[in-house]
Amino acid sequence: MPTPLQELAEHGQSAWIDYLSRPFIADGELAGLVGQGLAGVTSNPTIFQGAIADSDDYSEQMREVLRAESDAKEIFLALARRDIQAACDLLRPVFDRGEATAGGWVSLEVDPQLADDTAATIEEATRLHSLIDRPNLFVKIPGTAAGLPAIEECISRGIPINVTLLFSLERHRAAAQAYIRGLRRLQDAGGDLAAVASVASYFVSRVDTEADRRLDVLGGPEDLKGTLAIANAKLAYQSYRQLFSGPEWDRLAAAGGTAQRCLWASTSVKDPGYRDVRYVEELVGPQTVTTMPPGTVDAFLDHGHVEDTLENDLDDAHRTFDRFASAGVDYDDVTATLEREGVDKFAASFQQLLEGVRDKSDQLART
C-alpha cells in the first residue's frame, strides 16, 4: 500500500523536505524518507544555523577548514558543500528517473543579505552552481525586484533556480516571465534547455498569519480567517497554467524547456486551531511541488489524506479576495510586508549562522 507521500506522486505532486543536516544524511534518515516517497530537499540559513552552530557534527571538518580559512562565510560554504553534495548524490536516482522539475533536487540559497543587489546575486549564484557541481542543485534566489533580473540572467547561463520568498500573484507572474526570458536567451545562445529548470516557491501559511492578524485588528469576519493563503496559492496555480501554455511556450517546450512548477513552501501550520496538514492537503495538484518541515512530513505520513484539491472552488478563491478587500485588508500591502519581513528574517538568520560559525571556530581553536 502506498504511503501518503507516494500517493502525492501518483497525483502528480512531488514531496520535498525543508530540512538538511549531516546526521540526517549520515544516519540514513533522508534515505529512509526517500524510500517512503520523499523526492527533494530545500534548505535555508535558519536550517543550517541550527545544524552547524548548535552541534558537534561539523567540528572535525571545521578543524580541517580552519587550517586554511578564517572567513566565517567561507567556512560555512565549505561545510554546507559537503552536505549539499551528499544530498544531491543520494537523490540523483530520483532526479534521473523523471522530468527535470519533478524530483531529485536539493536547494541551496544565495546569501540573503544580497537580496537587493542584482549583480552580487548573479555572482554568488554562479559561484554556488560551480562549487556544488551537481546537475540536481537548485540555487535559491529571492523573487525580489532585484532578484528577478538575476533569475533571468542565471537561467540564461544554464543555472537551475528555485525562486524563493514569493507571496503575491504579481511577483509569481514576474518570476515566471523572468524564467521564460532566460530560457529564450539560453536557446538563442545555443544552450541546452533540458539541462536547466526552475521552481517558484510560493509561501503559504505566512499569508494567513499576517492576513488573520489584520482581520483581528479590523474586527473582520471570523469565517474569513485561514482562507487567504489557500485562495492565493490556487490562483497562482491558474496563472502558472496560463503562462506555461500556448504556441510561444510550446516552442520552448519542444526545444527541451520545462515549466516552472509552483512549489508550496511555508506549509507548517502556525495556528494550532488549524489541521496540522491543511496546507498540504488543500493544495494537491499535478505538476506541483510541496516542501514540508520534518514535523509536517511526519504528520502527513501519519494521517495525511490525498485527493486533487488545487482546482476546487476557484470561484470561491476569487470571492475570498473580494471579501478581504471589503473587510479592509490590503492584499498588496500584506504581500509586500511579508516579502520585506522574509528577506529581513533570512538575512538575520544568515548573520546568526555566521556568528555561530565564528563562535564554534573560536571554541575549536582553544581545544
What residues act catalytically?
Answer: 140
CA atoms in the 13 A half-sphere facing the CB of 98: 16
**Distance set, CA 292 to CA 101, 150, 230, 289, 341 (Å):** 17, 26, 16, 10, 21
Cβ–Cβ < 8 Å for 162, 139: yes
CA distance 176 to 81: 28
CA distance 70 to 61: 14
CA distance 324 to 35: 42
The single residue listed with the C-alpha cell 534521473 is: 96
**Distance set, CA 272 to CA 134, 209, 214, 275 (Å):** 39, 12, 18, 8
**Distance set, CA 317 to CA 224, 322, 361 (Å):** 11, 9, 51
